Amino acid sequence: MFELKVITRFAAAHQLKMVARQCENLHGHNWKVEVCVGGETLNEAGVLVDFGEIKTHVRALMAQLDHKFLNELEIFDDQCPPSSENIAHFIGTRLQEMISVPDVRVTRVTAWESDDACATYIMN
């Protein structure tokens, strides 16, 4: 299998309950997001899918998150708070819906909220 990775970033604010107490205060992160897509078959140009297509889709998703107060977005709520886990899940599931190339699927999304902490959603 071939796997491609595209890295993007966004800045946003959030509040989390029931983690470390200081997370309940409004605060922000500069998230780094790694998106991986995989597949078996290369096209006639010798690529799985154009990096540009993946970047276009990921940028559209980043635009929904960048410089937002994540708790106020419709995609998050008390059952799905804006943790790095749920951010990675949101990006992965939406990106899969956007990719137009058959047999290319999102394999994993990693959301780094700092240099030393990240959450990865692995797609089935």
Contacts to ligand LPXRUNBV by CB under 6 A? 16, 19-20, 22-23, 27, 83-85, 113-114, 119
Active site residue 3: no
User: How far is Cα 12 from Cα 111, in angstroms, rounded to an integer?
Assistant: 13
CB-nearer residue toward ligand LPXRUNBV: 32 or 105:
32
| Catalytic hit among 36, 57, 89, 113 | 113
Active site residue 36: no
Residue 95 sits at φ, ψ, to 5 deg, of: -60, -40
Tokens of 115: 């240099």
| Catalytic hit among 3, 24, 67, 72 | 67
Which residues 6+ apart lie within 8 Å of 87 measured at CB?
31, 33, 65, 70, 111, 119
Could you tell me which residues are annotated as the binding site for Zn(2+)? Answer: 14, 27, 29
